[in-house]
Amino acid sequence: MSRIVVIGGSGHVGSFLIPRFVELGHEVVNVSRGTAKPYRPHYAWGLIESVTLDRAVEEKAGQFGAKIAALNGDIVVDMISFDLASTRQIVEALRGKVRHYLFCSTIWVYGRLVAVPSAETDPTSPIDAYGKGKAESEAWLMREAHLNGFPATCFRPGHIVGEGWVPTNPLGNSNPEVYSLIARGEELVLPNLGHETLHHVHADDVAQWIIRAIENRSASVGEIFNTVSEQAITLRGYAEAVYRWFGREPRISFKPFEEWLAELGEFAENSRGHIVRSSSHSIEKSRQRLGYKPHYTSLEAIHESVRALVTEGKVASA
């Protein structure tokens, strides 16, 4: 078994990943700022080593990479590196000291798609700083893997969802009130014809993917993979499904995109980012090389999250 260091392991994916590692018999170190609690209770949290580090502070001092290297992990899963400077600092410190480094990227490295579903061989074209930072880190890591032998793997999760998380909703934002509106049977207004797409993934399926990448190291090192559900969903299909979960007939109308955005207030930019990308990605590479098979469809993952939001009182079910 391996000693595995997870950076940012108290987040949504880590809440599923760390228990999976413990159940497999690995020795686990969770590195976090110590301000967040795992999304799900599990006996595994009492069996791991927890290290409190503020990445931003330690990176500014030039010490973060060295402190991670000092934890002596065989494998490092980095969930929270957002730009090339952060990635370079940790990689330089880990060079020659780890067997596998897994970098959490994002489907937002793609920007606007040309063909769907997009494959990892399609060019990246990020349209914001977040996507650009991840894309630059990916490109540098792949060069390091291919030219200098650094054992890096990159994975691109979609819109992460699961119990304890507000899913990206049919309007392409994170406002839970949208589900309450649907539960009341009120009309939902979608952009254009509602054919734009979202591509979710359950946090536990991301955790499953990470484990498969580690167990199939020779097939994953030096490679980039999409990490999403089997299929993307259209805004309209998504909205209609949610109405039916609440026992309602769909009441949907449509407006031109810019007019529609103007009425969303504080959630407009969140919606714009999702809608203009209209994410839809292939997992064939993950399926063929790693044996990845998502347990949840997009709608199944979202349904689990919405049920939890109702139970918590964050969504008002009529």
Give percent of the chain with pLDDT exceeding 90: 93
pLDDT tens string 241-261:
999 999 999 999 999 999 999
pLDDT band at 42 (very low <50, low <70, confident <90, very high): confident
Percent residues over pLDDT 70 in the chain: 99
Q: Are residues 72 and 108 in the same domain?
A: yes
Burial of 74 (0-12, 13-18, 19+ CB in 10 A): middle
Return the H-helix or E-strand segment holding 177.
Answer: helix 177-183
- Gyration radius (Cα) of the chain, Å: 20
106 found inside a domain? yes
Co-location of 121 and 270 in the same domain: no
- Given 210, 227, 244, the domain boundary residue is 227
* pLDDT for residue 41: 82
**Side chain identity at 193, as an amino acid letter?**
L
pLDDT tens digits along 143-182:
999 999 999 999 999 999 998 889 999 999 999 999 999 9
Domain stops at, among 209, 227, 245: 227
The C-alpha atoms of residue 306 and residue 302 are separated, in whole angstroms, by: 6
pLDDT tens string 108-129: 999 999 999 999 999 999 999 9
Tell me if 292 is assigned to some domain. Answer: no
Residue 27 domain-assigned? Answer: yes
**Is the pLDDT score of 36 beyond 80?**
no
Q: Which of 191, 211, 227 is at the close of a domain?
A: 227
Q: What is the C-alpha to C-alpha distance for residues 316 and 310, in angstroms, rounded to an integer?
A: 6
Is there a domain that residue 316 lies in?
A: no
Model pLDDT, residue 270: 96
Statement to judge: residues 156 and 257 lie in one domain: no
Let me know how long the chain is: 318
The predicted structure's pLDDT at residue 169: 98
What pLDDT, on the 0 to 100 scale, is given for residue 249?
A: 97
Q: Which residues contact 282 (CB under 8 A, 6 or more apart)?
A: 117, 118, 119, 120, 226
pLDDT of residue 40: 79
CA–CA distance, 150 with 140 (Å, rounded to integer): 11
pLDDT at 213 over 90: yes
In a domain, residue 54? The reply is: yes
Are 13 and 137 contained in the same domain?
yes
How high does pLDDT run on average in the chain?
96
Do 185 and 114 share a structural domain? no
Q: What is the pLDDT of residue 164?
A: 85
Residue 140, domain member (yes or no): yes
pLDDT tens-digit map of 269-293: 999 999 999 999 999 999 999 999 9
203 pLDDT higher than 80: yes
CATH code of residue 248: 3.90.25
Pair (118, 183) in one structural domain: no
Taking residue 256's Cβ as centre, other Cβ atoms within 10 Å add up to: 10
Question: What CATH number has the domain bearing residue 85?
Answer: 3.40.50.720
The pLDDT score that the predictor gives to residue 98 is: 98
Has residue 288 been placed in a domain?
A: no
Residues 122 and 181 placed together within one structural domain of the fold: no
* Residue 286 is assigned to a structural domain of this protein: no
Same domain, 245 and 272: yes
Domain count, the chain: 2
pLDDT at 37: 76
Q: Are 118 and 69 in a shared domain?
A: yes
Tokens read off for 108: 């937002």
Residues 114, 168: one domain? no
Does one domain contain both 91 and 180? Answer: no
Is 264 a residue whose pLDDT tops 90? yes
Stretch 193-217: mean pLDDT:
98
Q: What is the pLDDT of residue 186?
A: 97
State which residues form the domain around 126: 3-160+201-227
Residues 93, 185 within the same domain: no
